Structures are given as C-alpha cells and as structure tokens.
Amino acid sequence: MSYEELTAHSSRLIARAWKPNMNRTLYIGDVHGCADELEAIVDKFGFVRGSDTLYQTGDIINKGPDMMRALKFVVDNGIQTVRGNHEEHLIRSMEAPPSQWSEKQKKRFARLPLEDWIYIRDIVKDWPLWRDTPHALLVHAGLEPGKTRLEDMSPEVLLSIRKWNDEPWYKQVTWPKTVVFGHWAKKGFVHRPGFIGLDSGCVYGKCLTAWCPEEDKFYEIPARREYTPVKDKTKESEVSPCKVAGDANKSIVTFDNIREKIMRGEITPANETPEEANIRKASPSISAEWAGYRL
C-alpha cells in the first residue's frame, strides 16, 4: 500500500470511528460453527468497536467446524443474537439426563466435552426469541401468520417456521418494519420488500450473508468448503427418532412417518391445545420437529 493509499485508508477509518452519524449496523446470517467465515464477514464490513452494531440471526452452534470459536467471537464482539432452534434444542436437551437423550442428541453431544456444552448453554439461554432493533425486527425463522403480537406467537413457530399452509410464511405476514430472519438454508437468500432472509447455507458450502441497512448493502463471504452435506431432513431423521406424546403406535419413529400421520389427522398429540392444533394443521413440520421436546 502506498503512503497516499495508507493515509486515505486511515482517515476513512478515523472518520468512521469519530463521526456519530457514521455508526453502522450489520445483520449476519446463520453461522453453524463457521467461525472463519464469521470473522471474515465482520472484517469485510470493517466493524468499528464502540460505534457499529452487530446482530445475528441465531443458530451459531452445531453442524459446522468450530462452534466454540464462533460463540466466543460472538461474545467478545458483543454480537446481539437471537435464539435459533439449535440453541433451543440444546437448552431443552440439557434439561433431561443424558440417559434420556435420543441417538441424534447423543451424537451431537459427543462432539464436545460436557463442560463445553454447559458453557454454551449458559450463554445461549439468555438469547431472546426476537429483537426489535432500530432498522428491523430480528427473529430466527419467521413470524406466525395471522397474529399481530410477537408475545402471542408460539416460540416453536418463531424458531422453526418455513411454510405455513404450504406457502412461505413471509408471503402471509405484514409487519410495520423489515423482518430479518434466517433458518431456511434450502430457500437461501431472500430479498423482497419488508423481508430479508440471510441463511444462505454457509455450513453447506454456499456462503455467509449479511446486511447493512445504512449502506443498503449486502456482504457475502463464500464458505471455505462444504462442512456438512445437504441432507434431506427426512433422511436425517431416520436416525433421530422423535416421539409424539400420546402416540399409541410406538413403531412410528421417523419425522416422515410422523408428518404423514399428522397430515392424515391420525395423530393428535396428547393434551393438545387449540393453539397447538392450529400449528399442527398449518405446518406439520413444526409439530413434528418439536414433538420430542415437549416439556
């Protein structure tokens, strides 16, 4: 870098650091342990500590190469996250003794010492389901169609909605400000009026995406590699039995079986509230995903 370039570069940094109206915001998509890409996107943005604000759509943990480093980076840089379904699964799983964990849970927990999981749990348990930020409403998966108050929406919907009555949820919701969300890696980057979907599948070898509202600009870091193969959710669940409370047929163990039975109306979870019945009918995948985690 020449002296002139260096001077110009430095004065830009100084200007950015000291002009109050230069404060910027960055919303970062789903990380899943992709610590290298998380660090790279914050660098590319040119994050200035103390004046810029970082947000993230949740699902920092699981799947990818280094969730501990990703989580420490979040903590060290004051990144304001929301809770993802993976953090919620961790919190709920750890409420049960290890002897009661499913095969999928055991496989996940085998990746790190239990002390590390306790460390992670103690951090993520404080993450909120949503953040109403100056530029956008931040939530992991999306909003529940037909409701206007976040407090009235089911946490399980906020954490894992994709489709509602077979249509993407965001085509059925209007919200007073832009909704920034993640979770739907197969759908990928979503950019439409009022909605920004930032899960562009970094852990699947695609890229990490972030949005800066002040610049009206998207930042992107290509994944260094495919860390996790894209698996069909139903295949994945072959080894991860989940039970529906009140299900008399104990041979039904896969997500696919449960979804089919739920759609045919053959399974009604025990003690189902009208609210839960509504979710089950509108989005069987949400009911099936959380069926094994009823408290």
Contact residues toward Mn ion (CB under 5 A) are: 59, 84-85, 183
Closest approach of Mn ion to the CB of residue 124, in Å: 13
Cβ proximity of 180 and 211 under 8 Å: yes
CA dihedral 157, 163, 165, 167 (to 10 degrees): 140
Nearer to Mn ion, 185 or 267 (CB): 185
Closest approach of Mn ion to the CB of residue 271, in Å: 26
Beta strands in the chain (DSSP E): 25-28, 53-56, 80-81, 130-132, 137-139, 163-164, 167-168, 179-181, 190-192, 195-197, 207-212, 217-222
Nearer to Mn ion, 261 or 292 (CB): 292
Task: Quickly count: other Cβ atoms within 10 Å of residue 160's Cβ.
Answer: 23
Closest approach of Mn ion to the CB of residue 31, in Å: 11
Distance separating the N- and C-terminal Cα atoms of the chain? 59
Closest CA to 178 of 160, 200, 193: 193
Nearer to Mn ion, 161 or 252 (CB): 161
Closest approach of Mn ion to the CB of residue 86, in Å: 6
Nearer to Mn ion, 223 or 252 (CB): 223
Closest approach of Mn ion to the CB of residue 158, in Å: 11
3-state secondary structure of 138: strand
Nearer to Mn ion, 182 or 267 (CB): 182
Nearer to Mn ion, 38 or 252 (CB): 38
Nearer to Mn ion, 113 or 155 (CB): 155
CA–CA gap between residue 293 and residue 243 (Å, rounded): 9
Closest approach of Mn ion to the CB of residue 30, in Å: 6
Closest approach of Mn ion to the CB of residue 167, in Å: 19
Cα–Cα distance list, 60 to 24, 79, 105, 189 (Å): 22, 11, 17, 17
Closest approach of Mn ion to the CB of residue 84, in Å: 5
Output the CA torsion sign for 183, 205, 41, 62.
positive
CA–CA gap between residue 285 and residue 163 (Å, rounded): 9
CA–CA gap between residue 213 and residue 217 (Å, rounded): 7
Nearer to Mn ion, 84 or 284 (CB): 84
Task: Quickly count: other Cβ atoms within 10 Å of residue 183's Cβ.
Answer: 25
